[in-house]
């Protein structure tokens, strides 16, 4: 029988907090960029321009057909020099963290794009037709009429996807990023409390995700009313 030793958790909290901050950084950046780029992809997909539709569809298909772990490894192992040159990353910057942020942002955009596209299509076509009758362009119609209505209905789904994204950030351990989960396992290996730290990390993920899910459900009920 394993003898549990929980006494080391209190002393490990500062290090765990630093890992949790990194996890939230990756999550928030991926949410912001994913929704922004996903919105662009959704609008391109519905633009009626064949080339733009093909590009958006190909992008979504590729990223939704590849495991996230593989995408992380690609960006870390195959294109670090490209990231350094395009993003003007200084040598002192942790390229592993930058790679993880870019990979998650581009990967999540494909999923957000499908959510947003469904939200746009749920808006009655008469709304867009009325805006065109008033002389609006396609871009103006999307920005001023369609997207505001679509996002109001999509917010619960977008937030639910954000919770899934938060859980998926634990996969950055494969490229050595010191997120919350990897920090917990490193501390456990160092102190001989590997089982305890993994259980504690799982409990923290559980509490955060359950709390976030409850808030999403409450918000969904409020929107429905």
* Residue 27 to residue 57: CA distance in whole angstroms: 24
* Residue 192 to residue 180: CA distance in whole angstroms: 18
Q: What is the mean pLDDT of residues 192-213?
A: 91
Residue 43 domain-assigned?
A: yes
Q: How many C-beta atoms surround the C-beta of residue 185 within 10 A?
A: 16
pLDDT of residue 64: 92
- pLDDT, one tens digit per residue, over 97-132 is 888 898 999 999 999 999 988 888 877 777 777 877
Domain of residue 20: give its range. Answer: 10-224
Residue 53 domain-assigned?
A: yes
* Residue 181 to residue 117: CA distance in whole angstroms: 33
pLDDT of residue 90: 66
* Residue 140 to residue 25: CA distance in whole angstroms: 33
- The alpha carbon dihedral of 213, 215, 219, 221 has a sign of positive
pLDDT of residue 200: 92
Residue 2 domain-assigned?
A: no
Mean pLDDT over each residue of the chain, to the nearest integer: 85
* Residue 69 to residue 177: CA distance in whole angstroms: 13
Coil, strand or helix at 65: coil
* Residue 143 to residue 179: CA distance in whole angstroms: 36
Between residues 163 and 86, the one the model is more confident about? 163
- pLDDT, one tens digit per residue, over 49-61 is 899 999 999 999 9
Residue 59 domain-assigned?
A: yes
Phi then psi for residue 16, to 5 deg, are -65, -35
Residue 20 domain-assigned?
A: yes
Residue 1 domain-assigned?
A: no
Q: What is the mean pLDDT of residues 75-95?
A: 70
- For residue 165, the domain's CATH number is 1.10.3720.10
pLDDT of residue 92: 64
Closest CA to 42 of 63, 32, 56, 29: 56
What would the two tokens of residue 26 be?
Answer: 């990756």
pLDDT of residue 48: 82
Estimate to the nearest angstrom the gap between the alpha carbon of 42 and the chain centroid. 17
Q: What is the mean pLDDT of residues 4-11?
A: 80
- Give the number of domains in the chain: 1
- pLDDT, one tens digit per residue, over 87-106 is 666 666 778 888 889 899 99
Above pLDDT 90, what percent of the chain? 40
Above pLDDT 70, what percent of the chain? 91
List, in order, residues 6 or more apart from 104 with CB less than 8 Å away: 26, 27, 29, 30, 34, 68, 72, 165, 168, 169
> What confidence tier does 86 reach under pLDDT thresholds 50, 70, 90?
low
């Amino acid at each position: 029988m394993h003898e549990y030793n929980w006494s080391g958790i209190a002393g490990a909290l500062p290090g765990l907090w630093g890992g949790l901050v990194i996890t939230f950084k990756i999550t928030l950046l991926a949410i912001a960029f994913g929704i922004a780029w996903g919105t662009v992809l959704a609008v391109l997909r519905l633009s009626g321009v064949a080339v733009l539709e093909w590009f958006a569809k190909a992008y979504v298909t590729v990223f939704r057909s590849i495991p996230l772990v593989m995408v992380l490894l690609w960006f870390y192992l195959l294109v670090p020099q490209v990231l350094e040159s395009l993003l003007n990353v200084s040598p002192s910057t942790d390229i592993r963290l930058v790679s993880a942020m870019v990979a998650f942002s581009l990967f999540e955009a494909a999923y957000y794009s499908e959510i947003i596209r469904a939200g746009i299509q749920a808006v009655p076509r008469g709304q867009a037709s009325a805006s065109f009758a008033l002389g609006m362009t396609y871009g103006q119609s999307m920005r001023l009429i369609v997207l505001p209505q679509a996002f109001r209905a999509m917010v619960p789904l977008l937030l639910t996807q954000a919770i899934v994204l938060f859980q998926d950030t634990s996969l950055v351990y494969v490229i050595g990023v010191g997120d919350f989960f990897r920090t917990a396992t490193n501390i456990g290996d160092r102190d001989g409390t590997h089982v305890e730290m993994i259980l504690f990390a799982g409990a923290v993920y559980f509490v955060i995700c359950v709390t976030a899910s409850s808030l999403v459900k409450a918000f969904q009920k409020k929107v429905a009313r």
